């Protein structure tokens, strides 16, 4: 509901004028969206503004990103035709610097309640049941880490013949990481040949802690897989042909931190060394395929290449810090080791936020296309059509480096090139910038429903191709 519904028009206009003079100084990065340090950010006291700058050329984008880099801006998304800048509180110099570029922009107003830390009153006090997908109230709100664990416990208890839970290791701060396998055994499985064995389908939730809709959608898909086939968005029928392996919370420490300290935290919470003043690794730049120690804002980095100075590693305080080495993040290492134990893997989906995109490899370079690119894109286009058929949500498709920019050490590249999963995708869920990472909870179920349709479409494509 617009802010104008809560106040007189004159007061609303005055507030809009004030917000145009409002901004805070934050870090900038190039992993699709950027974050801030914990010490910099506590909750905005007024409504926030998300400004989208319209980009018509590479030169315009480079000029805007250079300006944003100079004032340490909080960039939420970079795309081929726009850049989203989040404005939580006052900083006149930042606005004047960006306005000096001369680009047109649109503003979206985000209620401050959507950027604040959640209420200290836990929703665990409210009753919810997972017996029915359609009637459950669980998917009406976001859930803290403890309730995600309760969700797993209840599914294992309700469906012991379908759901198993496995501890795949510990996080940076020592929390157990769990993976779920949802599988329906075949009566004659011992006699099944390799050619007719069920295919493995892997799904992961939010690597970047603040992307709550990714974890909520992973839970919705998990629930849909065990729901009765009579329910409208059930995925249970797919268990006749697929085994699903799901990590709901790949970044448990970071996810918990977004509930307790910093709603928009990005990385994991790994201590990087005794003398480092910052913590955390961008997990989605720490995978072992084409990993690089340097990860800077793409166009700024390209400009720096013109000098003959040697490249230096990324500042550990940057939100897109890739680590000292690949697999340095224990969370990344745990998932990579777990993947090697799973048989017959054919599909992988990394749930992300935001942008409404379904992207294929590669992320590390736009110069190379996978040998399976044609099949990957064909399946993605069908999935995008299936998504749109549910609630009219439009998704774009293409290679990840083209949809965003080059990002070495990405999980999608690793799953395709190293783990050998042919159909590997990054699914950036709703929306396209109105709310960004602060998608209202009433959107959780619609996003889950259209993502169910995406999974059905991908599974159908694989089945038609005999995997």
pLDDT digits (tens, 9 = 90+) for 22-55: 333 233 233 233 333 333 333 333 466 778 899 9
241 & 143 share domain: yes
The answer to whether position 294 is within a domain reads no
Q: For helices 373-391 and 444-464, what crossing angle results, to 10°?
A: 140
Does residue 303 surpass a pLDDT of 50? no
Does residue 128 surpass a pLDDT of 60? yes
Cβ–Cβ contacts within 10 Å for residue 315, how many? 13
Note the pLDDT of residue 89: 62
Better-predicted residue by pLDDT, 414 or 77: 414
* 254 alpha carbon, distance to own chain's centre: 13
Pairing of strands 345-353, 199-204: parallel
Per-residue pLDDT, averaged over 310-314, amounts to 65
Quick check: 147 and 123 in contact, CB under 8 A?
yes
Average pLDDT of every residue of the chain:
84
Pairing of strands 199-204, 242-247: parallel
Beta bridge partners of 109: 49
Tell which of 86, 114, 142 closes a domain. 114
To the nearest whole percent, how much of the chain has pLDDT over 90? Answer: 60
Cβ–Cβ contacts within 10 Å for residue 164, how many? 13
Torsion sign over Cα 41, 265, 299, 434? negative
137 & 66 share domain: no
Of the pLDDT bands very low, low, confident and very high (cuts 50, 70, 90), residue 397 is very high
Of the pLDDT bands very low, low, confident and very high (cuts 50, 70, 90), residue 466 is confident
Better-predicted residue by pLDDT, 134 or 109: 134
Does residue 198 surpass a pLDDT of 70? yes
Per-residue pLDDT, averaged over 238-249, amounts to 98
Burial (CB count within 10 angstroms: exposed 0-12, middle 13-18, buried 19+), residue 114: middle
Tell which of 114, 138, 155 closes a domain. 114
Does residue 433 surpass a pLDDT of 50? yes
345 & 441 share domain: yes
11 & 51 share domain: yes
Note the pLDDT of residue 114: 81
Note the pLDDT of residue 310: 47
Note the pLDDT of residue 222: 98
Domain count for the chain, please give it: 2
CATH number at residue 446: 3.40.630.10
397 & 446 share domain: yes
Burial (CB count within 10 angstroms: exposed 0-12, middle 13-18, buried 19+), residue 252: buried
Of the pLDDT bands very low, low, confident and very high (cuts 50, 70, 90), residue 196 is low
Domain containing 31: what range?
3-114
CATH number at residue 45: 3.30.70.790
Per-residue pLDDT, averaged over 357-371, amounts to 93
The pTM assigned to this predicted structure is 0.85
- Identify the CA nearest to 109 among candidates 373, 436, 463, 451: 436
Note the pLDDT of residue 123: 52
């Amino acid at each position: 509901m617009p802010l104008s519904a809560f106040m007189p028009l004159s007061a609303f206009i005055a507030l809009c004028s004030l917000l145009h003079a409002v901004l805070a100084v934050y870090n900038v990065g190039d992993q699709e969206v950027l974050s801030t340090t914990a010490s910099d950010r506590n909750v905005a006291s007024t409504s926030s503004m998300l400004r989208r700058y319209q980009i018509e050329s590479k030169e315009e984008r480079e000029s805007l990103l250079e300006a944003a880099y100079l004032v340490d801006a909080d960039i939420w998304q970079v795309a081929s035709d726009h850049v989203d800048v989040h404005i939580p509180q006052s900083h006149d110099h930042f606005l004047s610097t960006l306005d000096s570029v001369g680009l047109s922009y649109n503003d979206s107003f985000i209620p401050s309640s959507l950027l604040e830390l959640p209420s200290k009153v836990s929703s665990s006090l409210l009753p919810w049941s997972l017996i029915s997908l359609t009637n459950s109230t669980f998917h009406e709100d976001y859930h803290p880490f403890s309730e995600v664990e309760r969700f797993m416990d209840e599914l294992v208890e309700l469906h012991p013949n379908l759901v198993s839970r496995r501890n795949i290791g510990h996080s940076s701060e020592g929390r157990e990481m769990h993976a779920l396998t949802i599988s329906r055994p075949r009566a004659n499985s011992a006699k099944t040949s390799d050619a007719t064995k069920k295919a493995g389908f892997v799904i992961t939730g939010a690597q970047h802690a603040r992307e709550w809709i990714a974890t909520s959608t992973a839970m919705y898909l998990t629930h849909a897989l065990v729901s009765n086939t009579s329910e409208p968005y059930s995925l249970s029928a797919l268990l006749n042909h697929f085994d699903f392996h799901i990590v709901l919370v790949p970044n448990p420490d970071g996810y918990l931190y977004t509930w307790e300290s910093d709603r928009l935290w990005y990385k994991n919470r790994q201590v990087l060394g005794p003398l480092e003043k910052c913590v955390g690794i961008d997990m989605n730049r720490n995978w072992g395929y084409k990993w690089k120690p340097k990860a800077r804002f793409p166009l700024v980095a390209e400009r720096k290449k013109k000098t003959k100075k040697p490249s230096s590693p990324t500042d550990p305080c940057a939100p897109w810090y890739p680590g000292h080495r690949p697999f340095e993040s224990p969370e990344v290492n745990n998932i990579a080791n777990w993947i090697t134990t799973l048989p017959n893997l054919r599909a992988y989906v990394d749930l992300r936020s935001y942008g409404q995109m379904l992207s294929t490899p590669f992320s590390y370079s736009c110069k190379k296309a996978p040998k399976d690119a044609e099949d990957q894109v064909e399946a993605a286009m069908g999935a995008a059509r299936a998504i749109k058929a549910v609630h009219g949500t439009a998704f774009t498709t293409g290679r990840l480096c083209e949809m965003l920019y080059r990002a070495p050490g990405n999980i999608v590249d690793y799953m395709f090139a190293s783990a050998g999963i042919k159909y590997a995708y990054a699914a950036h869920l709703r929306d396209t910038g109105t709310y960004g990472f602060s998608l209202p909870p009433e959107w959780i179920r619609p996003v889950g429903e259209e993502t169910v349709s995406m999974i059905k479409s991908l599974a159908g494509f694989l089945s038609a191709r005999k995997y």
